[in-house]
Amino acid sequence: MTRVVLSLQHLFGWCRIDRRCPKDPAAAKTGCPTLLTAAEDAEHSAGGPVRCTSLIQNPFATVDGGRNAHRLNGKVSGLEVISAAKKKKLDSECRAYVVGRGKLSGHEHLTGYRATDGKRLGTSTNGRVNAVSVTPQMSQLAKDKRAKVVVHHNHPGGTSLSREDLHNLGRLPGTLEVYAHGHARQWYCAESRRERRFQDFILAADDAFDRCLWGAGGTSVPDELHNHLFNLGFSAAGAIRYEHKLDKRLAHMYNTLSSVTRRDLEQAVVEAVKAERSRR
């Protein structure tokens, strides 16, 4: 039987946002993941150029379930789910898998499980630094709001969840949480608040974030922190629940940023989401 492997675009219906990065060694260092369409995937396999689409990464509190245990200890949206202890075990196993494989290969890897019963949903990689594929099983389940799929994948560059990660977390009812794990013990996790105009919020907030970032001399803000700073603002706006753990290097970068810069970037995102909500 031929094994069908779908790209993340097929799983999540990724929305392309005009945030591109060059396909070069620098992109690999910053961990900018690439989501490929079927045509781009074939072009890349043939040795052709590929456009790299930045993925937003989201921070979650603790890999062991930590602060989120109360949301999964019994029911989620009226559905029976696994215990906090079982979730802690599964999250730790998933993290160990994607990080372990990622360190060995230098590529992205993906795995996950269904929070309603703890069923593991397979593993996947396509042997690339900034791209990963998913199994048909995950693709199908992510469309069903009763599934409550928890997705874990690694970001070799250690960056946070991308805009596309957030967009698809919000629009697919079957996705409960998305984790991104770096290779230096940093990790990020996001849970959507399931707002109807979630995609519009992301687009408006992304535009406001960029204007604020570059209007204030964005070169002073390390690229590795862009997604994290955006996600902090998006969380403050109430669009997602966002938790994270930075490694010492990223924490130092964050702490040495001007508090005014951090405040202005967060406020730009909050105000953009607020303005978008008012247009309902």
**pLDDT of 203-215, one tens digit each?**
999 999 999 998 8
**Greater pLDDT, 20 or 240:** 240
- Report the pLDDT value the prediction gives residue 157, as an integer from 0 to 100: 92
**CA distance linking residue 124 with residue 133, whole number of Å:** 6
In this prediction, residues 5-22 reach a mean pLDDT of: 40
CA dihedral 11, 227, 44, 154 (to 10 degrees): -70
**Greater pLDDT, 70 or 189:** 189
Tens of pLDDT, residues 76-95: 445 578 999 999 999 999 99
Q: Is the pLDDT of residue 24 over 70?
A: no
Q: Is the pLDDT of residue 57 over 90?
A: no
Q: Is the pLDDT of residue 36 over 90?
A: no
3-state class (DSSP) for residue 243: strand
**CA distance linking residue 19 with residue 14, whole number of Å:** 13
Tens of pLDDT, residues 239-258: 999 999 999 999 999 999 99
- Report the pLDDT value the prediction gives residue 193, as an integer from 0 to 100: 84
Please count the other Cβ atoms lying within 10 Å of the Cβ belonging to residue 148. Answer: 23
Please name the residues in contact with 45: beta carbons below 8 A apart, sequence gap of 6 or more. Answer: none
Q: pTM of the full predicted structure?
A: 0.73
Q: Where are the beta strands (DSSP E) in the chain?
A: 6-7, 20-21, 52-53, 75-76, 79-80, 110-114, 120-124, 133-134, 149-154, 175-181, 187-192, 240-245
